[in-house]
Amino acid sequence: MSPSHTEVWLSRSLWLLASSAVALLLLIFLFLINESRLAVVDAHWLRFFNSPGWFPSAGQFNLWPMLLATVLATVGALALAVPMGLAAALFVSFFAPAPLATTFRRLLMLLAGIPSVVYGLWGLTVLVPLITRVAPPGASLLAAMLILAVMILPTVALTSEAALRTVPVNYWRGGQALGLSAQAILLKIALPAARTGIVAGVLLATTRALGETMAVLMVAGNVVQVPGSIFDSVRVLTANIALEMAYATDAHRASLYVSSLMLTLVVVAIVLLGRRLEAKQ
């Protein structure tokens, strides 16, 4: 049986679209490598880790504090948003009465759709002054974690809720028939059954947190340093690019492309790690 005309047409156009997406990604990668090259030709690549600090005008290009800050802010945000998001998802899926569940879901979707700069402005004018009262300067790693947590919470909650919805009702009924408590059914049956979807949602949230620029730029304080506490000001890689790209030339500019490359590699590493987790299951 030969495939119909429509089928051939559909498969060809899908192939074209899919491969252009891949090509685009590769092009971006090659572009980043090409632009970063300038920063390494006249000096060793290790200078991005062992310079005394980040003072491009003085030829010092240490990216390590910013890489660390990026990872810390993301981990902190996940530590807050994942439990809360999961709790929200479980509540909506199993406990909330239907009208409340619908309202709650709509609110989460609304929250997911707010532009990051709005979160940033709110953070700068409300959250940062609040933290300032406890521990100046206020603009800090903590502020970045909180803002990112609020931003990724809806992603975690919505994807987890979608994953939980695919768990067959029979599992729940089976658990009840075996006389299991609600807690046991949730933790031992529902969550493991929805695990793949939940992990995918957390990955999505992680990459969003890593790549977030404006909101973090506005609340994190942007001092390039290894933070001694969560009240210290930090600068993340994306904020560094946004702050300095417009005014950077030559080696400074190239080293900003190195920041982008590094961030891309971190995201690639996390996606691969996520694959591993899924495969193990």
Q: Which of residues 32, 51, 54, 254 is near another protein by CB under 8 A?
A: 54
- From 33-41, 137-145, 157-165, 259-267, give the range in contact with another protein by CB under 8 A: 137-145
Does position 224 interact with another protein (CB under 8 A)? The reply is yes
Could you say which residues in the range 151-190 bind another protein, by CB under 8 A?
A: none
Give the nearer residue to another protein in terms of CB position, either 61 or 172: 61
Q: Smallest distance, Å, CB 75 to another protein?
A: 22
Does position 38 interact with another protein (CB under 8 A)? The reply is no
3-state secondary structure 5-74: HHHHHHHHHHHHHHHHHHHHHHHHHHHHHHHHHHHHHCCCCCHHHHCCCEEHHHCEECCHHHHHHHHHHH
Does position 136 interact with another protein (CB under 8 A)? The reply is yes
Give the nearer residue to another protein in terms of CB position, either 195 or 252: 252
Could you say which residues in the range 58-97 bind another protein, by CB under 8 A?
A: 58, 60
Does position 138 interact with another protein (CB under 8 A)? The reply is yes
Give the nearer residue to another protein in terms of CB position, either 64 or 104: 64
Give the nearer residue to another protein in terms of CB position, either 193 or 248: 248
Give the nearer residue to another protein in terms of CB position, either 57 or 281: 57
Give the nearer residue to another protein in terms of CB position, either 96 or 242: 242
Residue among 158, 10, 37, 144 nearest 89 (CA): 158
Could you say which residues in the range 237-256 bind another protein, by CB under 8 A?
A: 242-244, 246-249, 252
How many chain residues touch another protein (CB under 8 A)? Answer: 33
Q: Which of residues 8, 18, 53, 192 is near another protein by CB under 8 A?
A: 53
3-state secondary structure the chain: CCCCHHHHHHHHHHHHHHHHHHHHHHHHHHHHHHHHHHHHHCCCCCHHHHCCCEEHHHCEECCHHHHHHHHHHHHHHHHHHHHHHHHHHHHHHHHCCHHHHHHHHHHHHHHHHCCHHHHHHHHHHHHHHHHHHHCCCCCCHHHHHHHHHHHHHHHHHHHHHHHHHCCCHHHHHHHHHCCCCHHHHHHHHHHHHCHHHHHHHHHHHHHHHHHCCHHHHHHCECCCCCCCCCCCCECCHHHHHHHHHHHCCHHHHHHHHHHHHHHHHHHHHHHHHHHHHHHHC
Does position 272 interact with another protein (CB under 8 A)? The reply is no
Give the nearer residue to another protein in terms of CB position, either 172 or 257: 257
- From 51-59, 75-83, 88-96, 152-160, give the range in contact with another protein by CB under 8 A: 51-59
CA separation for the pair 120, 110 (Å, rounded): 17
Q: Smallest distance, Å, CB 62 to another protein?
A: 12
Task: Please give the residue ranges that form the binding site for another protein (CB under 8 A).
Answer: 52-58, 60, 124-125, 128-129, 132, 136-139, 217-218, 221-224, 233, 235, 242-244, 246-249, 252
